């Protein structure tokens, strides 16, 4: 018997983090088969890449129909595996997947079709250039547990519409969502092997991807893990797209609509139990409206309910997804309180919260820059609010971070908001809103600094899923270019006249260079090389 036949797969258990009960069991992938899987993916990719955008779109629309028909089942799967509420799962996971199918199936050709490049100089009047976007080949995706459905699925659709094969590895904490993705993809009736779901350790799978020649890796996760993957990728110069952490600021100006601002802060800070890399963590409020803002947000925080989100609709905030993340959030709160922070308000529990990884929505004030929650990513339902003198101080504090994923400005003056948004150091800035833009398929997503490199979503995301290729040709049946052999004094003077023709000191020099260059060009381009044979 072969080693593959005697391999006993390890069972991976998916446990509901809100209740502690088992959700599903999956077999871990035998990573010794990655080479075979890669070969199968390449065969399928060659078939898939030959299809037109219209043909690919037909398969993607079949997936969209499956998502719409089974929206409630998918929301429940996400809720039970991740811990978020059913409403949250439907709004931020299922709906964006359907939107992604629609947008990419309609716009991929527009983004990736060949384009002619304008001629740059009269010296090259006979040359034409076309820019093409060609598939990468086999793309690896390693996705996180905070949005286990919508993050990888959007990337899968981008990759497929660009003509690639996909190897997906979902987070170890949410493997049953990976199985749900398998079922969605199956509804699209793709060539066998074009999409494959790998179950196993993220670091081992990544190593396997690199060893077996993955053409590009898309990773969403922590900064340290992203740096490790980038270092690994350097050995083979494998391109990577990294969407890493965030410690996102929200700036509230003195003319802000405080009702909307506090509603937005509550949602973007506490949603998904705060486990959004683009969620609100730091809020800088101009002192003229600081007290009113804190009072309003505190009242709304106290009205929120945390509890088991998969059992009904009387809960606003579900549980955190892992025990490790719960410890991190607890550590950040303890650190803040030890350094002088004050808890202004917290959400109230509903039902049995003793068996899950629950943490109340927490509003902090009296914070300073030495606290972990202000200088590091908390990734939990804590909003820290700091008073600032004016928008310039708010801007300085917001930009004082090694993370730069998203940010937001809240003001009734849109011109003022756009001006301040342009100065914020982040890949995404929204005005009078926060976090939602990840659900816009047309809007690029990604950050600066240690928040990552590359972009997903939109035209930029489709381009990341392809290679740039330039094709250039000659309009004339010329025998030689101006600068080709054989060299002689005439060649030298011809090049000199070409330079003066392109960049003349005056009309006289241009006319003189033109008269000398034309016969030389015709002779060089259309005469045979005299070899003396």
CB 436 within 8 A of CB 430: yes
Q: How many CB atoms lie within 10 A of CB 38?
A: 24
What span, in angstroms and rounded, lies between the C-alpha atoms of 404 and 400? 9
List CB contacts of 235: < 8 A, sequence separation 6 or more: 210
Q: Which of 80, 93, 243, 425 is catalytic?
A: 243
Q: Which residue spans within 307-376 are E strands per DSSP? A: 342-346, 348-349, 362-365
What span, in angstroms and rounded, lies between the C-alpha atoms of 353 and 305? 11
Using DSSP's 3-state secondary structure scheme, residue 469 falls into strand
Task: Give the DSSP letter string of 155-168.
Answer: HHHHHHHTT-EEEE
* Token pair in block for residue 82: 């991740």
Please report, for residues 34, 128, 137, 230, 469, the alpha-carbon distance to residue 213 in angstroms, rounded to integers and kept in the order given.
10, 34, 10, 15, 20
| First-to-last C-alpha distance (Å) of the chain | 69
What span, in angstroms and rounded, lies between the C-alpha atoms of 33 and 3? 10
| 450 is an active site residue | no
Strand 448-449, strand 452-453: pairing: unpaired
Q: In what order do the strands lie in the sheet with 362-365?
A: 342-346, 362-365, 382-388, 280-286, 248-252, 406-410, 428-431
What are the b/e assignments for 196-211, b being 16+ CB within 10 Å? bbbbbebeebbebbbe
122: buried, middle or exposed (CB in 10 Å: 19+, 13-18, 0-12)?
exposed
Strand 115-117, strand 280-286: pairing: unpaired
Compute φ and ψ for 198, nearest 5 degrees: -105, 130
What span, in angstroms and rounded, lies between the C-alpha atoms of 383 and 359? 13
CB 134 within 8 A of CB 466: yes
- Report the Cα 122 to chain-centroid distance in Å: 41
List CB contacts of 445: < 8 A, sequence separation 6 or more: 243, 278, 427, 428, 437, 438, 455, 456, 457, 458, 461
Give catalytic residue positions: 243
């Amino acid at each position: 018997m072969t080693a593959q036949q005697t391999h006993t797969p390890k069972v991976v258990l998916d446990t509901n983090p809100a209740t502690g009960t088992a959700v599903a069991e999956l077999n871990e992938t035998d990573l010794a088969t990655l080479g075979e899987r890669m070969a199968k993916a390449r065969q399928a990719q060659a078939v898939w890449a030959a299809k037109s955008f219209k043909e690919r779109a037909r398969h993607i629309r079949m997936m969209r129909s499956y998502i719409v028909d089974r929206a409630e089942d998918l929301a429940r799967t996400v809720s039970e595996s991740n811990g978020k509420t059913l409403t949250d799962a439907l709004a931020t996971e299922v709906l964006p997947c359907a939107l992604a199918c629609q947008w990419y199936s309609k716009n991929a050709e527009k983004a990736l079709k060949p384009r002619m490049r304008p001629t740059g100089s009269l010296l090259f009047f006979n040359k034409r250039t076309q820019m093409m976007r060609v598939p990468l080949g086999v793309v690896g995706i390693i996705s996180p547990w905070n949005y286990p459905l919508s993050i990888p699925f959007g990337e899968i659709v981008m990759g497929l519409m660009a003509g690639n094969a996909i190897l997906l590895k979902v987070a170890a904490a949410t493997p049953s969502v990976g199985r749900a993705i398998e079922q969605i993809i199956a509804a699209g009736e793709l060539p066998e092997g074009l999409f494959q779901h790998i179950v196993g350790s993220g670091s081992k799978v990544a190593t396997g991807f690199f060893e077996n020649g993955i053409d590009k890796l898309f990773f969403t996760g922590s900064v340290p893990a992203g740096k490790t993957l980038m270092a690994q990728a350097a050995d083979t110069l494998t391109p990577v797209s990294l969407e890493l952490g965030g410690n996102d600021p929200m700036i509230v100006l003195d003319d802000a609509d405080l009702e909307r601002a506090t509603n937005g802060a509550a949602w973007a800070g506490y949603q998904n139990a705060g486990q959004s890399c683009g969620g609100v963590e730091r809020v800088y409020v101009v002192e003229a409206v600081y007290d009113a803002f804190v009072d309003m947000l505190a009242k709304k925080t106290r009205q929120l309910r945390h509890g088991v989100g998969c059992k009904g609709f009387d809960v606003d905030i579900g549980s955190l997804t892992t025990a490790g993340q719960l410890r991190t959030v607890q550590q950040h709160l303890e650190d803040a309180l030890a350094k002088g922070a004050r808890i202004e308000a917290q959400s109230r529990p509903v039902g049995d919260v003793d068996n899950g990884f629950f943490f109340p929505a927490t509003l902090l004030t009296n914070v300073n820059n030495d606290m972990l929650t202000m200088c590091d990513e908390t990734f939990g339902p804590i909003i820290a609010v700091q008073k600032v003198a004016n928008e310039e101080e708010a801007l300085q504090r917001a930009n004082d971070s090694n993370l730069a994923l998203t940010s937001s400005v809240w003001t009734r003056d849109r011109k003022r908001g756009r001006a301040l948004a342009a100065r914020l150091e982040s890949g995404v800035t929204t005005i009078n809103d926060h976090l939602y833009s990840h659900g816009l398929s047309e809007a690029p997503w990604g950050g600066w600094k240690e928040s990552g490199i590359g972009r997903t979503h939109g035209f930029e995301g489709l381009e990341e899923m392809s290679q740039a290729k330039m094709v250039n040709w000659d309009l004339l049946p010329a025998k030689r270019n101006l600068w080709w052999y054989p060299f002689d004094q005439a060649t030298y003077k011809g090049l000199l006249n070409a330079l003066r023709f392109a960049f003349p000191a005056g009309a006289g020099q241009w006319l003189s260079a033109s008269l000398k260059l034309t016969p030389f060009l015709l002779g060089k381009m259309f005469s045979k090389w005299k070899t003396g044979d």
